[in-house]
Chains A and B, each alone.
Chain A
Amino acid sequence: MMRAEKVGLKLNGRNILRDIDCTVTPGRVTVVMGKNGAGKSTLLQIMAGQVTQGGAAGAVSVDGKAMQDIPSAELAGRRAVLAQSVQLGFPLPVAEVVELGCYARYHQMTARQRKSAVAQYLELLDITRLKNRSFPTLSGGEQKRVLLAKCLLQLDVENPDHKNNRYLLLDEPTAALDLEQQYRFVDLATRLARERGLGVLAVLHDLNLAARFADDLLFLRNGETVAAGPTTKVLTKTIIQETFNVDCLIQPHPCFNCPLITTLPYGKPNIAPALAP
């Protein structure tokens, strides 16, 4: 289990995040939700072990071990972060970006092993055809897939026999993706993660994506916890109201076995909701 206990961050006297508890369990998907500036990405960065400057409070542990005691090379095999966006300093071909995933084990592998590993993960994400393309020329969805391939390779290469628990942190994976891509990508990422028994922590904006794919939810507002718990328990009207300041309607989803949330920013209109066809 990856656990954040009473973590917080103070920057220039302002509380970005305060007293947050967050747990990521192997095989489960935890989604963090909240308005812009609620501290979602900050929490994710803290749990990735990437906030080291002063002003950080609380502790993060990975399977009972304090995160700061884990050498960064080992940590690379325990958790991978899919960044919100990646700006390359200089263009790299897709294959080389994916290969970065096995850098922590670079010297234990032969060039041939690395090459076949890259090929395997390109195949897994169905992007073999992009292999020699320059990363910056890809579309947003393609870039995300490449980065996901890199993250999965990074986690798998460290623990080929899946002995250790591993965690995948997705920082707004749907940013810059179109409607179809948003759904497909979250679906793909959570499915691959579940297959591998990865614990997933994702920052999402879309309530319905969260309702569909999250096992656990954490609602943040102004750096503080509104509610946390299994999706079935915390995905309620009051909590959504409290987090996003919008009214909403929660119905059973007509196609999937999950709720369907309709947000009503101007309150409930005075007409009967149209029935789904």
Chain B
Amino acid sequence: MKYFPVFLLLLLGLTACGPSSEGHPEAETTGAEEQRIVSLNGTLTELLYDLGYGDQLVGVDVTSSYPAAANEVPKLGHVSQLNVEGMLALRPTVVFVADEAKDKPALKTLAEAGVKVVPVKMNATLDNAVVAAKTLADHLPIETDKIDAYAASIGSDKQVLETTLEGTEITPRVLFIYARGAKQLMVAGTDTEAAAMIVLAGGENAIQSFSDFKPLTPEALVEAAPDAILMFSSGLASLDGKDGLANIPGISQTPAFRNDHIIAMDGHYLLGFGPRAAKAANELAQQIHVSVTK
């Protein structure tokens, strides 16, 4: 592993474009400082862009869609289905992956090949981005004041959120529905990121009787009696919008639907727990409370 920079130089000279590659001296000079980063988590990708490492990303996973520039970086597919050689071909110096996915066989092989695979703990908290950034800083030369500034900005977002929440008195019951077309509808129980976000936004998860995601049933819907329904914009779109949602049995009986309190937000923004988590929480807080007071 300690010889890795040497490899990198040799590889740059040897491969890239097969026989035509005569070695790129300019790559050699910059190679020492430039990192070749692979990010296998959408939130980490967003974080890396935020911290100014976007141009050093050489590969991202399929969930990395924000910022838009991330779509220009070679996509490596889903973290469950990685192509080891494809990743090696990117000659990454460091691979960042969410802690829960760190044991995938492909990553084990990658580590055996001498690539630094860094698992990053992700939590459903507003400070997640700062904590994750600190982990990143252990492996990338990120200046501490940059992280401090980061923490400060998230802190001010949190301030805004607090102000929003101070003005509210009730705790609306919010139901998160995950939809992939009308045939696949799941509702979030406790212990999910959706529930965590709802609580952070000053709401209460409408379902308390089970954890994880469970298929949606009309009865459960009525029993949950949500004041607001929260969905991913993509999920709502998969049902053809609110009209399609109305066709799902049970939905039209909920207070949320009768009062037209259907909230759709971008999936990654809402539940990524990235740098914009506090902003998202604030936005959600405003929406659910406005809905209720209306």
The answer to A–B direct touch (Cβ < 8 A) is no
Residues of B whose CB lies within 8 Å of any CB of A are none
Residues of A whose CB lies within 8 Å of any CB of B are none
